[in-house]
Amino acid sequence: MTITIYHNPKCGTSRNTLAMIRQAGEEPEVIEYLKTPPSREKLVELIAAMGISPRELLREKGTPYHELGLGEDRWSDDELVEFMMAHPILINRPIVLTEKGAALCRPSERVLELLPNADIGAFTKEDGEVVSGQGGRRTS
């Protein structure tokens, strides 16, 4: 199975998602999207595959979201995609694509829905939260 992750190594959620994929025994294609942004066509394809709107993919924290006024309703989907093309940091992450589908994996355990072997056992996130078993059940 081919697995692709649009990854930002500076993001804890993205690092946790990548680690969960690897704990499931898979080695994904890792695309550091800030270094190698997707084409406009690919970004639109990913948004459609995830079943979300461009607005739902926008990241606010640590981006020029507020400076650009992207919270305003006046922007069309096409315009929001153009902003993400001009400023890839606006693309929320991690996006994971597998044969089972595509998803914005926030929280990171959402990736388990896309893996062929979601039973990864106990997994401890960087913040100490433990996710265990198939389906990403959290334990205390």
Catalytic residues: 11
**30 three-state secondary structure:** strand
Token digits of residue 124: 């401890």
Mention every residue, 6+ apart, whose C-beta is less than 8 A from residue 102: 46, 49, 50, 95, 96, 114
- The whole-angstrom separation of Cα 67 and Cα 110 is 30
3-state secondary structure of 136: coil
Q: How many CB atoms lie within 10 A of CB 49?
A: 13
Neighbour count for residue 134 (Cβ, 10 Å): 12
